[in-house]
């Protein structure tokens, strides 16, 4: 009798425990894990949503690597990574150093730099679309004012569309990483700087040999996050260029979206989504491995 009472209590306890956790697990099971498996299946089929999916094996994957538009998207993404990541990191770190100073009104500047990163890319993308407008836009008006004669056609030009988009993304995302660096800076103990001052270190030397190395952890995560962010470039392209001119601003995610929801090639789009996933996964792994190696050789 007593044992029975004990096990009833145990059952009740188990039920309580699972009642806390099951709603999340069921939802994630369906919408994340289930979707993941489903997505892998779709990537091996030819499916237009209307007729039943047909199993075609690896054909979608093979097709992706022969598809010139997809290759162009990969190239464009590499361009954006090179244009945005190093500049974004340097700019965020440098501005964080300035914002870390205890000056009157510094709170206002921190907030002002951060605001672009909470703003919707769709909305502010439309504003930038007009800023970059070659005839009525403010950017060319300023360039004209300072005497530039051969005004770029920005988003209409094959040469200038990528830099224009990079400028807009740099403007929008760097505030976020700047706050990350600000947090990193506030973790550096003041004694280090005091000791360096006693040894007669200059401001530049302190930055070079104390600040930058001690921020390497922040730099590591910021770089990974920024690369992922650039690989997922979508909304700015959607509002500002739709991949034009001539596919020169097309990105992987935009191409996936267009293939899936404008041309209804669900299988092909899923296969490209998996390729993108694998690329991001490998990049992250390589960065973690590189960091471990750096630590081993005591860099």
Partner 1 sequence: MKRKKRLHIAALYTILVSVALIMIFPFVWSVTASLKTRSQIYSGNPLDLIPDPATLNNYRKALSVLPFHRFLLNSLVLATTVPVISITLASMAAYSFARLQFKGRDLIFMLLLGVMMLPGHVTLIPRYALVRKLGWINRYTALIIPPIFSASLVFNIFFMRQHFLSIPRELEEAALIDGCSRWGVWRNIIMPNSKPAIATIAIIGFKTEWNSFLWPNVVINDFLKMPIQVGLTYLQTNVQSSWDILMAATTLSIIPLIVIFVCFQRYFMAGILTSGLGGR
Positions in 38-57 near partner 1 (CB under 8 A)? 38-39, 42, 49
Q: Does 126 bind partner 1 (CB under 8 A)?
A: yes
By CB under 8 A, which span of 22-30, 73-81, 150-158, 243-251 interacts with partner 1?
Answer: 22-30
Tokens of 19: 């009642």
Q: What is the DSSP letter of 119?
A: S
Instruction: Decide: is 92 part of the binding site for partner 1 (CB under 8 A).
Output: no
Q: Which stretch binds partner 1 (CB under 8 A): 17-25, 82-90, 146-154, 286-294?
A: 17-25
- Binders of partner 1: how many residues, by CB under 8 A? 84
3-state secondary structure of 30: helix
Closest CA to 272 of 74, 55, 30: 74
Among the residues of 29-67, which ranges form H helices? 35-43, 59-66
- Binding to partner 1 (CB under 8 A) within 141-180 occurs at 141-142, 145, 171, 175-176, 179-180
Tokens representing 216 are 């390497």
Query: What are the φ/ψ torsions at residue 30 (nearest 5 degrees)?
Result: -75, -55
Min. distance of Cβ 297 from partner 1 in angstroms?
A: 26
- Contact between 158 and 246 (Cβ < 8 Å): yes
Residue 222 CB, nearest distance to partner 1 (Å)?
A: 10
- Shorter beta-carbon distance to partner 1: residue 160 or 268: 268
- Is the CB of residue 225 less than 8 Å from the CB of residue 92? no
Among 101, 102, 200, 299, which residue sits at the site for partner 1 (rule: CB under 8 A)?
101
Q: How far is the CB of 154 from partner 1 (least distance, A)?
A: 14
Residues 221-260 that bind partner 1 (CB under 8 A): 221, 224-225, 228, 232, 234-235, 238-239, 253, 256-257, 260
| Of residues 90 and 299, the one with the C-beta less far from partner 1 | 90
Among 68-76, 128-136, 153-161, 191-199, the segment contacting partner 1 (CB under 8 A)? 128-136
Closer residue to partner 1 in complex, CB, 78/183: 183
CB-facing half-sphere around the CA of 221: CA atoms within 13 A: 11
Within the chain, where are the H helices? 2-28, 35-43, 59-66, 68-99, 106-118, 121-131, 138-145, 161-186, 190-198, 203-206, 212-214, 216-231, 235-240, 252-261, 266-296
């Amino acid at each position: 009798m007593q044992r029975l009472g004990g096990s009833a209590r145990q059952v009740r306890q188990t039920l309580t425990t699972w009642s806390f956790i099951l709603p999340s697990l069921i939802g994630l099971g369906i919408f994340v894990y289930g979707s993941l498996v489903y997505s892998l299946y779709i990537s091996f089929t030819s499916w237009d949503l209307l007729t039943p999916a047909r199993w075609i094996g690896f054909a979608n994957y093979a097709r992706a690597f022969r598809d010139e538009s997809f290759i162009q998207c990969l190239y464009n993404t590499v361009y954006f990574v090179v244009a945005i990541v190093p500049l974004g990191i340097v700019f965020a770190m440098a501005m964080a150093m300035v914002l870390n100073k205890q000056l009157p009104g510094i709170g206002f500047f921190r907030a002002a730099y951060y605001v672009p990163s909470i703003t919707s890319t769709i909305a502010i993308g439309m504003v930038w679309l007009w800023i970059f407008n070659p005839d009525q836009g403010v950017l060319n008006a300023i360039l004209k004012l300072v005497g530039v004669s051969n005004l770029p056609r920005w988003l209409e030009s094959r040469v200038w569309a990528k830099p224009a988009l990079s400028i807009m993304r740099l403007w929008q995302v760097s505030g976020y990483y700047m706050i990350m660096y600000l947090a990193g800076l506030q973790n550096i103990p003041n004694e280090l700087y005091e000791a360096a001052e006693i040894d007669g270190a200059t401001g530049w030397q302190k930055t070079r040999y104390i600040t930058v190395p001690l921020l390497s952890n922040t730099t590591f995560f910021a770089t990974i996050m920024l690369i992922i962010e650039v690989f997922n470039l979508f909304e700015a392209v959607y509002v500002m260029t739709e991949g034009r001119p001539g596919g020169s601003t097309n990105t992987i995610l935009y191409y996936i979206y267009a293939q899936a929801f404008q041309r209804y090639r669900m299988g092909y789009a899923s296969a490209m989504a998996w390729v993108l996933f694998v690329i991001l996964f490998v990049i992250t792994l390589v960065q973690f491995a590189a960091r471990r190696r750096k630590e081993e050789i005591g860099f």
